């Protein structure tokens, strides 16, 4: 598996590609068009990444990750935020941090009130329904900043993994003063894989979580303020993970 040019998808074939390949990669302008907004409207969300809170649950002792987390329900007609809840994954999907109820600071209300926020989440929910059939989707949103203040930052300290949901979207928000952060996607039950580095803000990777596993390689600093910002969204039918735990 060798690095290659970004294997982007024609948005008119998005659902078919996710269904057949297990993932699809969209260019920033195609993400904006899918959401029915402009890149400038998406960029209005970006300043909130400067106000994320330290992740105190990292078992490797690192202080390289900041995040916020909130949950929503998309019933096909609208997006409703749920009461704030902890994030939970089983150890089968996250051997490092699974089995823990991790309560992070919520995403700021002003971020969620930005028109592009609901448009983006609802548009991607429609894609998920196009691939899997109509569902009421339980949506988790994670704002991440991985920094290199201590020399290295790990976007996926758990390694190559699945998330235990139906679909995952990884959206690059910004890269500043770093090298690394290569994205790797592998067949869950086969040898095939892709590796590429997302460089442009609002590049989006959509994954069928049952079909593929994924990871991002560590980042290293090119200057003292190096960091990588992403928005990670997940969709799960039935219930949130840990709802009955």
Task: Say which CATH number the domain at 158 has.
Answer: 2.60.120.620
> Is residue 39 a contact partner of residue 28, using CB atoms and an 8 Å limit?
yes
Cα-Cα end-to-end distance for the chain: 39
Q: Does the residue 69 lie in any domain?
A: yes
Q: Does the residue 243 lie in any domain?
A: no
List, for residues 166-208, the tens digit of each pLDDT value: 999 999 999 999 999 999 999 888 778 899 999 999 999 999 9
Q: Does the residue 244 lie in any domain?
A: no
- Predicted TM-score (pTM) of the model is 0.93
Q: Does the residue 142 lie in any domain?
A: yes
List, for residues 209-219, the tens digit of each pLDDT value: 999 999 999 99
Q: Does the residue 2 lie in any domain?
A: no
Domain containing residue 207: 23-237
Q: In the numeric block, which tokens belong to residue 162?
A: 């699945």
The beta strands (E) that lie in the chain are given as 23-26, 53-54, 65-74, 79-81, 137-147, 167-176, 178-180, 183-187, 193-196, 204-208, 212-216, 219-221, 227-237
70-to-4, 80, 117, 127, 163 alpha-carbon distances in Å: 34, 11, 12, 21, 16
Q: Does the residue 245 lie in any domain?
A: no
Q: Does the residue 242 lie in any domain?
A: no
Count of the separate structural domains present in the chain: 1
List, for residues 5-47, the tens digit of each pLDDT value: 788 999 999 999 999 999 999 999 999 999 999 999 999 999 9
Q: Does the residue 205 lie in any domain?
A: yes
């Amino acid at each position: 598996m060798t690095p290659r040019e970004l294997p982007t998808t024609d948005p008119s074939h998005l659902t078919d590609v996710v269904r057949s390949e297990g993932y699809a990669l969209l260019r920033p302008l195609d993400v904006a068009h899918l959401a029915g907004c402009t890149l400038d409207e998406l960029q209005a969300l970006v300043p909130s990444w400067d106000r994320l809170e330290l992740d105190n649950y990292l078992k490797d002792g690192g202080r390289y990750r900041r995040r916020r987390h909130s949950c929503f329900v998309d019933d096909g007609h609208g997006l409703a935020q749920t009461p704030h809840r902890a994030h939970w994954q089983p150890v089968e999907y996250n051997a490092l941090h699974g089995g823990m109820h991790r309560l992070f600071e919520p995403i700021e209300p002003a971020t969620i009130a930005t028109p592009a926020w609901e448009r983006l989440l609802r548009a991607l929910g429609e894609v998920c329904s196009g691939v899997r059939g109509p569902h009421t989707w339980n949506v988790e949103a994670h704002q991440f900043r991985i920094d290199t203040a201590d020399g290295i930052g790990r976007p996926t300290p758990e390694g190559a993994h699945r998330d235990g949901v139906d679909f995952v979207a990884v959206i690059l928000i910004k890269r500043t003063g770093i090298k690394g952060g290569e994205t790797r996607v592998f067949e869950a039950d086969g040898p095939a894989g892709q590796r590429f580095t997302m460089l442009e803000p609002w590049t989006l990777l959509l994954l069928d979580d049952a079909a593929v596993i994924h990871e991002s390689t560590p980042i290293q600093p090119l200057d003292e303020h190096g960091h990588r910002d992403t928005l990670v969204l997940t969709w799960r039918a039935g219930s949130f993970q840990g709802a009955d735990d």
